[in-house]
Structure formats: C-alpha cells, structure tokens
Amino acid sequence: MIVWINGAFGSGKSTLVEELRPRWPESLVFDPEMVGYVLREIVEVPTGDFQDLRLWRRQVAQLAVGLVEEYRRPLLVPMTLVNPGYLDEIFGALREAGLDVRHFFLKVAPEVLERRIDGRSFFPDDPAREERVRAWCKERIEACSAAVDTLPGDTVFLDGEASPGELAGQVLAHLG
C-alpha cells in the first residue's frame, strides 16, 4: 500500500508523516524529492521543477513499486503533486503494478501557507538561496489551491490546520 500525503508547500505533509511513522512502525518513508535532488546533480532541469522531468516521474513510480515489492511494507509518501497529468502518470503506474494507492490532501488557507513558509528555514547560511526557495514555494500556492478541483475522486481531504496528532488519527482511521 502507498499512502500519498499531498498538499501545498507548508501544508504539513512531512510533519504528518513524522507523526504517522511511530504509530505505524511497519511503514517506510519515501520522499520523492530525494529522487529530484539526485537528478539535479546529473542533468539540467530547464524549468527548475524536477517534476517536469519524465525521468523523475518514472523513477518515483518505479522506486515506490520496488520498495513495496522488495520489503513488503507500506510506504508513506510526503510529496506535493498537483499537476493532473503527472499525478495520473505516477498513480497509474503504481496501480498498474497492483499497488493500493491511498491519496490524502492537506487543505490549508493560502495566508496560513505563506506564514508557515515564512517561518521555515531552508538554507540559513545562504540568505539569497533561502529567499529564492521561499519565493518558489509561495509562487506555487495558487496552483496547489486550484488543484483541489482536479484531484482524483478518491482523494481524502484533510484540514491541514488541525494538529499533526489529529491528522494522523484521521489518516489511520481512513486506512482501517
């Protein structure tokens, strides 16, 4: 099983996964962002967003399938994925491999997302890079908010302003 925790930057995806992990010790955490970081070291990312690389989408799906097949454990995946075509491509590959994909989306008001992004530290030793990353995250808030209407019908929407503990309880309840 794959439990994909989706939402805008600053919505609490990683925090929720950190809360879920000790409550579901048999699960593994797979962060597809790491695949993007590796690819950036090897190839140019013309748009600046590694999700635009077909190879990133293929590798994310293949690695997720491989992890489940090899270790026979569920995966917790914290990753913003709001482009409908990319989501269909990845989720389709996962389902084609016979995996059960459970999709959760953390809904958070744009002004709360901005505050959370402003409160995070990405690169404290590099203020210019810090500001670029912060701006990049904020630029995507609108697209992430608009994506709510394009997500698959089986998406479970969660109030991302609830506490991590409450959210973890809701996810586990949905999983049965």
pLDDT in tens, 15-46: 999 999 999 999 999 999 999 999 999 999 99
Spell out the domains of the chain, with CATH numbers in brackets: 2-175 (3.40.50.300)
| Contact by Cβ (8 Å): 153, 84 | no
Tell me the C-alpha distance between 161 and 108, whole Å: 6
The mean pLDDT value for 72-88 works out to: 97
CA 37 to chain centre: 14
At residue 174 the predicted structure's pLDDT band, cuts being 50, 70 and 90, is: very high
What's the pLDDT at 120?
Answer: 83
Q: What percent of the chain has pLDDT over 90?
A: 89
- Averaged confidence pLDDT in the chain: 95
What's the pLDDT at 75?
Answer: 98
- Residue 105 pairs in a beta bridge with 6, 157
What's the pLDDT at 62?
Answer: 98
What's the pLDDT at 123?
Answer: 84
| Contact by Cβ (8 Å): 101, 155 | no
Q: Would you say residue 168 has pLDDT above 90?
A: yes
| Terminal-to-terminal C-alpha distance of the chain | 12
The letter for the amino acid at 174 is: H
What's the pLDDT at 6?
Answer: 98
| Contact by Cβ (8 Å): 32, 77 | yes
Q: Would you say residue 160 has pLDDT above 90?
A: yes
What's the pLDDT at 18?
Answer: 97
pLDDT in tens, 103-155: 999 999 999 999 999 988 878 888 888 888 889 899 999 999 999 999 999 99
Kind plus residue range of the DSSP H or E element containing 7: strand 2-7
